[in-house]
Every structure is written in structure tokens, then in C-alpha cells.
Chains A and B, each alone.
Chain A
Amino acid sequence: MAKMVADSSSLILLAKCSLLEIVCDLFDVIVPKSVNIEVASEDLVKNYPDAALISDLTSKGAIKVQSPGSDRLTLPVSLHKGEEDALLLAIKLGRSLFITDDGKAIKAARFFKVPFIVTPKIVVELFRLQKISFKKARESLEKLGKIGRYSPEIIADALVSLMERKNGKTNNHKDTRRPFK
């Protein structure tokens, strides 16, 4: 099973667009302890149903909590502990995908040449891999726009990409995509 290391921004968005469980079924989803505390502390679980879902998936072992170790990175930009730990964990695990929806964390991932993925791309990819229906994918993208505060520009491009996948056409931006190996 391919490994994916998530930070708080992506765990929240995956939960909000109802895709966290399926992603946990298909991949080894790993988070550092700091991320787990950021999104699913005892207080948050009481007040946010999606925080309770994350806590539940963690206690079932569907989301694995792993330490990034004590080594620190010399980052090109500052990050908060959870974001930094998640990136460090992705580097340490090797051949893992870093899931983040934070522009600054993406900047750091690019610096270390760590393959990253953003939630709208996960949605389109899950449809391409025939793991979710077109309807589910479209609804998830719409939620990412409305609740997830993704820019209309990205959501529009993701919807076009989704339609192209549905119609069996090649994405116009294929040359810019990086396959995860």
C-alpha cells in the first residue's frame, strides 16, 4: 500500500469532503503526533464532528501516528510544528506522498523535492482510478470550493479535468503533472 503523510490542512479538507475514509482504505495514511493533536485533541473532538471522525480513524489504526524523530530540517521557510513534522516524516519514510493544502508547506516540499498532492487532485485521481463515482467527485470538488475555500480558478480547472477524465480525454496540462513513483 502506498504511503501518504498528511498535515492538518489536508486531513480537515478530506474529512469535510467526505473522502477521508476511502483514502484511508486505499492508502497508508500517516500523520505525526503533532498533527493529530492539532486536528483531533479532546476539546476539538467534542466540538467538531469531523475531528471526532479523525480521532475514530486514528484509534482504529486507519490513520497511523508516527514520530518523525528528533532530527530537524533546515527549512527554506518557517512552518508550524505539525506542518514541519509531516514534511520531515514524508522525507524520512521515502517513496511517500505529502498531502498538504497549504501554499507555504508546498513551497517547502518543492525545495526538498518531496512529491506532494493537494485535495482537489486526490478527488480527480480517485475518479480516474475508479474508486469514486463522477457524482461523488463533483460533489467533493464543489464542497472544496464552498466549505474548503479553494479558489474558484482551481475548482473550475479541477472540474474541467474531471469532465475530461469522464469523457476519456487527455488533460490539457498532462505535461505538467508529475506521476508518483
Chain B
Amino acid sequence: MAKPTTIRIPEDLLNEIDRFVQESKLDRSAYLREVLRKGFSLDKQDRLLLKYVRKELSQMEVCKELKWNPWEFLTQLKTRNLYLNVELEDWLDAAELPP
């Protein structure tokens, strides 16, 4: 069930939203809920991936938080032009294979 909340929005942004909602014949509340959900989802992904890049989260910790499977993870990195959080030092420090 939806719960009410109050936030302050800059007047110019609110005017722009109202104008757009009217022109597009959208329900204002439903539209704002949808925008909030979409924005939150994208922002959460960006912030958690930033934590991954900084090694604050592991690959599977990110996958768990975002409900991704590990096969999807690499595609998501590619979409954002991000790389694995392995550093040059890790590659240089890696052991050799036994003969």
C-alpha cells in the first residue's frame, strides 16, 4: 500500500513536471511514483557499482544487493564502461601456476 511522504522540490522543476504531466495527460501522482522508482533503481545501481570499483563491495555482494546473477554482472559493467576491480598490483602479485 502506498504511503504519503513530503519532499521539497525546486519551483522551476515542479513547474516543468506539472507542465509535462498536463501535456502528456498523465496522472501526476502515478507519474511521480514511477519516476522515483526508476531513478532510485538507477541511482542504487550506480552507487553500488562505485562501491565495487572502490573494493568496498565484492562482485557477489553487488549481485546480491541488485538481484543480478553473476553472468549479468559483466554486461552491466560494459553498459557503464566500467572495469573489474582487480588492480595492476594484483596481477603483478599473482602466483605462478605449478608445473
Contacts and interface: CB of A to CB of B under 8 A. Distances in A.
Interface in A123-181: 125-126, 128-129, 147-154, 157-158, 173, 176-181
Contacts, number: 143
Interface string A1-37: 0100001110010001000000000010000000000
B84 interface: yes
Nearest to A95: B98
Contact of B83 (A126, A150, A176, A180): A150
A177 B91 contact: no
Interface in B52-99: 55-61, 63-64, 69-71, 74, 77-78, 82-88, 90-99
B70 A176 contact: no
Which of A78, A104, A128, A150 gathers most chain B CB within 10 Å? A104
Contacts of B92: 157, 173, 176-177
Given A104-B55, A148-B74, A180 B88 contact: no
A47 B85 CA distance: 26
Nearest to B80: A149
Q: What's the interface size class on B, roughly?
A: 20 to 34
Given A83-B60, A102-B86, A149-B83, A178 B93 contact: yes
A116 B95 contact: yes
B70 A12 contact: yes
A10 B77 CA distance: 16
Contacts of B87: 103, 151, 154
Nearest to B74: A149
Contact of A180 (B57, B84, B86, B95): B95
B86 A117 contact: no
Contacts of A97: 95, 97-98
B60 A38 contact: yes
Contacts of B97: 2, 27, 97, 117, 122, 125-126, 128-129, 180
A88 interface: no
A180 B96 contact: yes
A38 B83 contact: no
6 contacts: A38-B70, A102-B85, A103-B86, A157-B88, A177-B92, A178-B95
Chain A to chain B: the 5 pairs with minimum beta-carbon distance, closest first: A80-B60, A103-B85, A125-B97, A180-B95, A121-B94
Interface of B: 55-61, 63-64, 69-71, 74, 77-78, 82-88, 90-99
